[in-house]
Amino acid sequence: MSLRLILASASLIVLAACGAPDPEQPDQAAPSAQAPAPQAGAAVLTAAQIEAGVPQAAAAPGAAPPSTAPAPATGEAGTGPAATAPDPGLVRLQVLLDRTPFSPGMIDGLAGDNTRQAIAAYRKANNLGSGDAADAALLQHLAAADTSRVMTQYVTTAEDVAGPFSPAATGELADIARAGTNFTSARERLAERFHITEALLQGLNPGVDFRRAGQTIVVPAVTNTPLAGVARIVIDKTERSARAFDASGKLLGFYPATIGSSERPAPSGTVTVTGVAPEPDYTYDPKRVTYDRGDEKVVVPAGPNNPVGTVWIDLSRDTYGIHGSPDPSKIGKTASNGCVRLTNWDAEQLAAGVKPGVVVQFI
């Protein structure tokens, strides 16, 4: 998605409030590890199962419970392999929500707070009652509004598998700056493109070597439709969410978010958007703020695994913004250092609809 550069001198931005190591958040689950290496065998789920899927929570009484076999995916609330296999109905629901856009964050086929909050927001916006139940009426409403298939096939290209790739980031900014902020692998690049965990991507495509072009893979049919006409953004620090509204008060989009911490809280009250910078550099300047990252100025180059991801929405509170993330699995589950962090694809979608002067309310 192409974003118009509207922030002056955006190729180099000092983002001092957002680049410290994530504060400890012991009450939140840690993100999962990388997916296992490719292996042959049956797919965890098939496209046909997903297309016909109904979330287990909405299944008819007496329906078989979900499998308890370990799956190559990790849930929103888990720290290791998921206790249950991905639910094909939840994959379907998450893809449909992603296209509304009431974002569930990463598509993984597993229940978690991000998905439940997206359900609750969608139900309320569409007069489907309150609560976060993934019932048959919700799925029917989503499927009636969007009749397109939720899964599709994609053939990997030479561009997908071409580098340069960067090693996994360490906690040291200078090391990240030297190593670069590109994706770590073709599989990570494809997982982000299709809003899915690497683990589930591999599980849907067992035996596929994502380093090779010409591989036909099964992926979610996401759309990446940009928002338009955002007039107000509400950041809910308790819910960990960002909502975008138009001038009439209509809810345009809902996104799970990581928002500050007790040590470094997000702003309070009302600020405004001052501009948008796609593909920003990140600059640590000890003259402005220190987070135990040394006494030297460090510039981390632009890239999807930059500390602020692929886009920066600048706010009128100095050094604060709404931005992307190098690790979408952490969104809504860990603390940040004051800024509002979304998945890269959600941040890009939101950024496309804002302009200077848009009101941002922190509640």
> Which domains does the chain carry?
16-23+226-362 (2.40.440.10), 30-64+83-225 (no CATH)
**Cα separation, 38 vs 254, whole angstroms:** 34
- Which pLDDT does position 180 carry in this prediction? 95
Region label for 231, one of left (φ > 0), alpha (ψ between -120 and 50) or beta (otherwise): alpha
**Cα separation, 284 vs 298, whole angstroms:** 5
**Cα separation, 5 vs 146, whole angstroms:** 32
How many other CB atoms are there within 10 angstroms of residue 64's CB atom? 7
Strand partners, 107: 196
Coil/strand/helix, residue 257:
coil
- Which pLDDT does position 255 carry in this prediction? 98
Strand order in the sheet with 269-278: 251-256, 241-245, 232-236, 359-362, 269-278, 311-315, 321-323, 340-341, 258-259
The secondary structure element, H or E, covering residue 272 is strand 269-278
Percent helix / strand / coil, the chain, rounded to 5: 25, 20, 60
Name the pairing type of β-strands 251-256 and 258-259.
Answer: unpaired
- Which pLDDT does position 29 carry in this prediction? 37
**Cα separation, 252 vs 76, whole angstroms:** 24
Contact partners, residue 154, CB within 8 Å, separation at least 6? 190, 194, 216, 217, 219
**Cα separation, 198 vs 212, whole angstroms:** 16
**Cα separation, 115 vs 117, whole angstroms:** 5
- Which pLDDT does position 77 carry in this prediction? 41
**Cα separation, 105 vs 31, whole angstroms:** 13
Coil/strand/helix, residue 26:
coil
Output the pTM of the full model.
0.85
Phi, psi (degrees; rounded to nearest 5) at 103: -70, 135
Digits of tens for pLDDT over the chain (363 positions)? 333 334 444 444 444 456 554 544 433 333 333 344 555 667 899 999 999 999 986 554 444 444 433 344 444 443 344 446 899 999 999 999 999 999 999 999 999 999 999 999 999 999 998 999 888 889 999 999 999 999 999 999 999 999 899 999 887 889 999 999 999 999 999 999 999 999 999 999 999 999 999 999 999 999 999 999 999 999 999 999 999 999 999 999 999 999 965 556 677 899 999 999 999 999 888 787 656 556 789 999 999 999 999 999 999 998 889 999 999 999 987 655 568 999 999 999 999 999 999 999 999
Contact partners, residue 111, CB within 8 Å, separation at least 6? 57, 75, 76, 77, 87, 90
- Which pLDDT does position 90 carry in this prediction? 95
**Cα separation, 75 vs 68, whole angstroms:** 13
Please say whether the beta carbons of 139 and 93 come within 8 A: yes
**Cα separation, 88 vs 133, whole angstroms:** 16
